[in-house]
Chain A
Amino acid sequence: GAVVSQHPSRVICKSGTSVKIECRSLDFQATTMFWYRQFPKQSLMLMATSNEGSKATYEQGVEKDKFLINHASLTLSTLTVTSAHPEDSSFYICSAYTGGYTFGSGTRLTVV
Chain B
Amino acid sequence: RKEVEQDPGPFNVPEGATVAFNCTYSNSASQSFFWYRQDCRKEPKLLMSVYSSGNEDGRFTAQLNRASQYISLLIRDSKLSDSATYLCVVNRPHTGTASKLTFGTGTRLQVTL
Contacts and interface: CB of A to CB of B under 8 A. Distances in A.
Interface of A: 31-32, 34, 36, 41-46, 49, 91, 93, 95, 97, 100-101, 103-106, 108
Interface size class of chain B, counting residues whose CB lies under 8 Å from the partner chain = 10 to 19
B101 A46 contact: yes
A97 B98 contact: yes
A62 to B, nearest CB: 13
Given A44-B103, A104-B43, 13 more contacts: A32-B97, A32-B98, A41-B8, A42-B105, A43-B105, A45-B103, A46-B102, A97-B98, A100-B46, A101-B46, A106-B41, A106-B43, A108-B41
B100 A91 contact: no
A43 to B, nearest CB: 4
Instruction: Give the interface SS of chain B, mostly helix, strand, loop or mixed.
Output: loop
Contacts of B44: 44, 103
Interface in B72-113: 87, 96-98, 100-106
Contacts of A42: 105
Nearest to B43: A103
A104 B97 CA distance: 20
Nearest to A108: B41
B42 interface: yes
A44 B100 CA distance: 12
A43 B87 contact: yes
Contacts of A44: 44, 87, 103
B66 interface: no
Contacts of A34: 98, 100-101
B45 interface: yes
Centre residue among A31, A44, A95, A108 by max chain B CB count within 10 A: A44
19 contacts: A31-B98, A32-B96, A34-B98, A34-B100, A41-B8, A43-B87, A43-B103, A43-B106, A46-B102, A49-B98, A91-B41, A97-B97, A101-B46, A103-B43, A103-B45, A104-B43, A105-B43, A106-B41, A108-B41
